[in-house]
Amino acid sequence: MREMKDSGIEWIGKIPNNWYVKRVKHAFNRKNEKAMQENPVILSLARSGVKERDVSTNEGQIAESYYNYNPVDIDDLLINPMDLYSGANCSISEVKGVISPAYINLRYREDINPRFYDYYFKVQYWLMAFFHTEKEFHTRIGGL
């Protein structure tokens, strides 16, 4: 049986002995750099993940310059703070490139698994969507 310890957080309870609790802000460094690159790979964040944009099609918003875009490395966690309610709010990048400075670009610190936080942030959206739907369901049928 796995040895457990008190997490120190009432609603979490006990956690495995080799786990630790830390605030999200202590798990990542926010990258706020400028790419300053000629012809970079332009990235976008969608429900299906981080994708390379084909700017030659002139679809979507095209920037005048990509010099001020933020460089993205593999395993960076990208968050779209303007789209927290659509489900396309975050994803781990599997490609290098640059992304609009409107996105939050987080680089994980030592001993952090960025995929855990990608899942964690997505679950927050799913829970919000579920409880919103449940509330509407109860309102429409008069509760249970």
Asked whether the predicted pLDDT for residue 83 surpasses 80, the reply is no
What domains appear along the chain, each with residue ranges and CATH number? 24-141 (3.90.220)
Joined together, the tokens standing for residue 21 give 């609790």
Give me the pLDDT at residue 84, please: 60
The count of C-alpha atoms lying within 13 angstroms of the C-alpha of 102, restricted to the half-sphere facing its C-beta, is 12
Q: Is the pTM of this model over 0.85?
A: no
**pLDDT tens, 32-76?**
888 887 788 889 887 788 888 776 666 666 667 788 899 999 999
- What does the block give as tokens for 140? 């429409």
Q: Which residue has the higher pLDDT, 74 or 122?
A: 74
Judge whether residue 130 has pLDDT over 90. no
Q: What is the largest CA-CA distance in the chain?
A: 60
